[in-house]
Structure 1
Amino acid sequence: MTVPPTQSATSDATARSRVMFAAAHVVADPAVPQGPDTPAAVDWDATLAFRRHLWSLGLGVADAMDTAQRGAGLDWPAARKLIARCGAEARAVGGLLACGAGTDQLDPAEEPTIARIVAAYEQQIEVVEDAGAQVVLMASRALAAIARGPEAGAVYAEVYGRLLPQLRQPAILHWLGTPFDPALEGYWGSPDLDVAAARLLGIIRAHAAQVDGVKVSLLDSAREIAIRRALPAGVRLYTGDDFHYPELIKGDEHGFSHALLGIFDPIAAQAAAALAVLDQGDTAAFDAILGPTVPLSRHLFSAPTSRYKTGVVFLAYLAGHQDHFTMIAGAQRNRSTEHLAELHRLAQQANILPDPELARDRMNKILTDGGHS
């Protein structure tokens, strides 16, 4: 079964059996120099238009997170504007919105402390909640840096234990694995993933009323399933596994995962269509729609996985969602021309490009130019 790439749906088609967020990218302003040491310059019109596209398909939007280059070019002043503007758009269209709250405004020259980390989280939580969005408590590099040794688990328990009771509505916790961000090695207080998972589950059980769910981005389906089965009743597992998402969302006799995925940015139409048939109990159609997107996703998120954002923006360019291939921090240079050409081939194979001729012309321009500026 194939889905026409131009297929769209209204918000009436929002999936009901699963909660589904697409982690959305930001569109850089091509008129402003973009580099690793320059403030983020965002094309707000194009960025918000893409979010309206996602909402029109019935998907939720997860914003100001990793796919939006948070911690990789999207600085806190720009993220703050993004959250506020996206919140206003969500209210206008009735769209589901979750936004990341972290600690990236902390001065890296200052020694992080528990007090500073909690205060930074609190500042960002207030911005997210004032925008009317659900809070995603993102993993903190500063917290990972100080929570070491035998007392590390207690540090995480203290920080999350101070934050969760303050929230206006239950939050989504986030475990972002080292393939996505090596600076988060040992999150939850141990490099041993079994120990880390046990500590995460302990925090969730202690504050279950304040936790809507946890996004697990480890690219390890067996571990995700084990965590999912151990969660307290009513707490959701949001898959962040861009390698195994169809099987995890479909689930098994013991349960299923909801989703908060970067791959849903470029395959939004296919994701919406797959979720619609899953709502009807048609798992064969679900597999037929999402299955062809998996080779594309595996290439997109291939090592070094943290560079997947370049591919997400490139696919948005090929699909006509933006008229240039420029990224915040100059991140369009983070993947080779060969990698991008293979993305184009797999995108064609997965039938995700609304205008194949436009995509071919833009791919040929990249090849003719000998790369990307």
Structure 2
Amino acid sequence: MKKSIYLPNQDGNVFEYKLTQTDGLKKPEHSQFSSRVAYSAAHVVADPFGSDDPVSKPAIDWEHTMKYRHYLWSLGFSVAEAMDTAQRGMGLQWEEAKELISRSVKEAKSVGGDIASGAGTDHLEPGAKVTIEDVIHAYEEQVSYVESAGSKVILMASRALATCAQTPEDYEYVYGRILTQVSQPVILHWLGEMFDPNLKGYWGTNNIDDAMNVCLRIIETHADKIEGIKISLLDDQKEIEMRRLLPENVRMYTGDDFNYPSLIEGDNQGYSDALLGIFDAIAPVASMALQDLDRGDTADFREKLNQTVPLARHIFQHPTYSYKTGVVFLAYLNGHQPHFRMVSGAESSRSILHFSKLFELADQGGVLVDPELAIERMDPVLKLAGIHQMGAVR
């Protein structure tokens, strides 16, 4: 077995990297969790031959996209569909999202898999003429579609609302109108501006504490229509603070891809469930760790997840919204798709130095399903950048 590969480093030189992970990952024995609810946001696989204009007319490889969802279900995860991990609003538009949701719901039903899907307003272009009522109608259209498809709703943040809302009361009015109409409890999604700069000042204020209070008022008023809230702020202390203020029946779903081990483990006042993009990239290890937690083995749980944190922090480094590229790159390295191409050409949003470091951290985090295959697939990516393994000529 090949155990090393030549990689570039920050000073432009090439060095031989020797893998620490020499054995492939075994699939976890069990495929369900009892102590935590765990959603993995799932990426989409592009079809590189499906369109001659991948930016404005993205094409999806439905076979591999659905296979990956089956893979996540087989590991025990629930699937969070058509979220930002699937490049929603950054390549994947509402028309494509509708087909993605309907296909995924059908596949979920075929295996008894759990699924929740994003409903937002991304078919409504933000602008000066957009009104609060326009936002409500856009939300109603998407929520209706997701529910009619047979999926639970994840109520996504709205760029159009962030543009036209004048006060926190505008947010309370919009969310109140939608929440009184849903047929079953939804998951709210508070996506920080590091994930989407267009959402700066969400909930009507730039002050994070004031924004939290607005969100909590909405949750308290409509607690019977809210299963939980996913917050993606990359601030563990704010998440813990909000978690302790939630109504008893409302779950906190961590979206913190930097601090997920401690937030999921929790403390003597509670814990966070999970709805994470990083779970797409580290699925087998995360599955085994969650099963450790089910057995009460917090030491092994933390050991397994802690070793993945440097990888997660690298994938989600600034600009954070480019994290999808790292998620898809790992899916390519691990053999879940035959190529490293993305919707809207997003594979170009990270550098060869980023991918090389990602390879190292994936090895050190123990998330390479087959290290030899990963080397084989890393090689052509390096060659494209002018790095050849025979003598490592650059």
Give the stretch that moved more between structures: 229-238 or 99-108: 99-108
Q: Report the residue type matching 1:224 in the other structure.
A: E
What is the 5 A alignment of 1:139-178?
Answer: 139-148=157-166, 152-178=167-193
For 2:146 and 2:37, locate their aligned partners in 1 and report how far apart those are by CA, in whole Å: 19
Aligned pair count reads 367
| Structure 2 unmatched runs, 5+ | 1-20, 387-394
Q: Report the residue type matching 2:261 in the other structure.
A: P
Per-residue deviation, 1:5: 5.1
Q: Is 1:132 matched with 2:147?
A: no
Q: Give the direction of change, closer, same or farther, for the CA distance of 1:213–1:241 in structure 2 (3 Å limit).
A: same
Asked if the contact 1:216/1:239 (under 8 Å) is kept, the reply is: yes
Residue aligning to 2:227: 212
Q: Report the residue type matching 1:8 in the other structure.
A: K
2:379 is matched with which residue: 357, 364, 367?
364
Residue aligning to 1:61: 79
Residue aligning to 1:6: 25
Cα deviations by residue, 1:153-195 (Å, 9 ceiling, x for unpaired): 1100000000011111100001000110010000011000000
Q: Give the direction of change, closer, same or farther, for the CA distance of 1:108–1:146 in structure 2 (3 Å limit).
A: closer
Give the stretch that moved more between structures: 313-322 or 348-357: 348-357
For 2:118 and 2:86, locate their aligned partners in 1 and report how far apart those are by CA, in whole Å: 10
For 1:95 and 1:132, locate their aligned partners in 2 and report how far apart those are by CA, in whole Å: 12
Per-residue deviation, 1:3: 12
For 1:184 and 1:3, locate their aligned partners in 2 and report how far apart those are by CA, in whole Å: 43
SS at match of 1:339: helix
Residue aligning to 2:117: 99
SS at match of 2:278: coil
Asked if the contact 2:46/2:341 (under 8 Å) is kept, the reply is: yes
Per-residue deviation, 1:86: 0.3
What is the 5 A alignment of 1:187-266?
Answer: 187-266=202-281
Cα deviations by residue, 1:65-116 (Å, 9 ceiling, x for unpaired): 0000000000111000000000000111100101000001114467221111
SS at match of 1:265: helix
Residue aligning to 2:348: 333
Q: Report the residue type matching 2:62 in the other structure.
A: W
Asked if the contact 1:34/1:40 (under 8 Å) is kept, the reply is: no
For 1:80 and 1:4, locate their aligned partners in 2 and report how far apart those are by CA, in whole Å: 40
For 1:103 and 1:227, locate their aligned partners in 2 and report how far apart those are by CA, in whole Å: 26
For 1:298 and 1:177, locate their aligned partners in 2 and report how far apart those are by CA, in whole Å: 16
Q: Report the residue type matching 1:147 in the other structure.
A: A
Per-residue deviation, 1:16: 1.2
Residue aligning to 2:296: 281
Asked if the contact 1:242/1:301 (under 8 Å) is kept, the reply is: yes
For 1:128 and 1:288, locate their aligned partners in 2 and report how far apart those are by CA, in whole Å: 38
Residue aligning to 1:45: 63
For 1:108 and 1:184, locate their aligned partners in 2 and report how far apart those are by CA, in whole Å: 11
Residue aligning to 2:104: 86
Q: Report the residue type matching 2:74 in the other structure.
A: S
Q: Report the residue type matching 1:206 in the other structure.
A: T
What is the root-mean-square deviation of aligned Cα atoms in Å? 1.7
2:330 is matched with which residue: 315, 332, 343?
315
SS at match of 2:231: strand
Asked if the contact 2:127/2:163 (under 8 Å) is kept, the reply is: no
Q: Give the direction of change, closer, same or farther, for the CA distance of 1:176–1:189 in structure 2 (3 Å limit).
A: same
For 1:98 and 1:236, locate their aligned partners in 2 and report how far apart those are by CA, in whole Å: 15
Q: Give the direction of change, closer, same or farther, for the CA distance of 1:187–1:198 in structure 2 (3 Å limit).
A: same
Q: Give the direction of change, closer, same or farther, for the CA distance of 1:60–1:369 in structure 2 (3 Å limit).
A: same
Residue aligning to 1:350: 365
Q: Normalising by structure 2, what TM-score?
A: 0.90
Asked if the contact 1:9/1:57 (under 8 Å) is kept, the reply is: yes
Percent of aligned pairs sharing the same letter = 53
Asked if the contact 2:40/2:279 (under 8 Å) is kept, the reply is: yes
Q: Normalising by structure 1, what TM-score?
A: 0.95
Q: Report the residue type matching 1:43 in the other structure.
A: D
Q: Report the residue type matching 2:31 in the other structure.
A: A
For 2:177 and 2:323, locate their aligned partners in 1 and report how far apart those are by CA, in whole Å: 33
Asked if the contact 1:153/1:189 (under 8 Å) is kept, the reply is: yes
Q: Report the residue type matching 1:228 in the other structure.
A: R
1:22 is matched with which residue: 12, 37, 40?
40
Cα deviations by residue, 1:215-259 (Å, 9 ceiling, x for unpaired): 010000000000000001110000000000000000000000000
Asked if the contact 1:34/1:328 (under 8 Å) is kept, the reply is: no
Q: Is 1:183 matched with 2:229?
A: no
| The structure with more helix, counted as a fraction of residues | 1
Residue aligning to 1:115: 133
Residue aligning to 1:292: 307
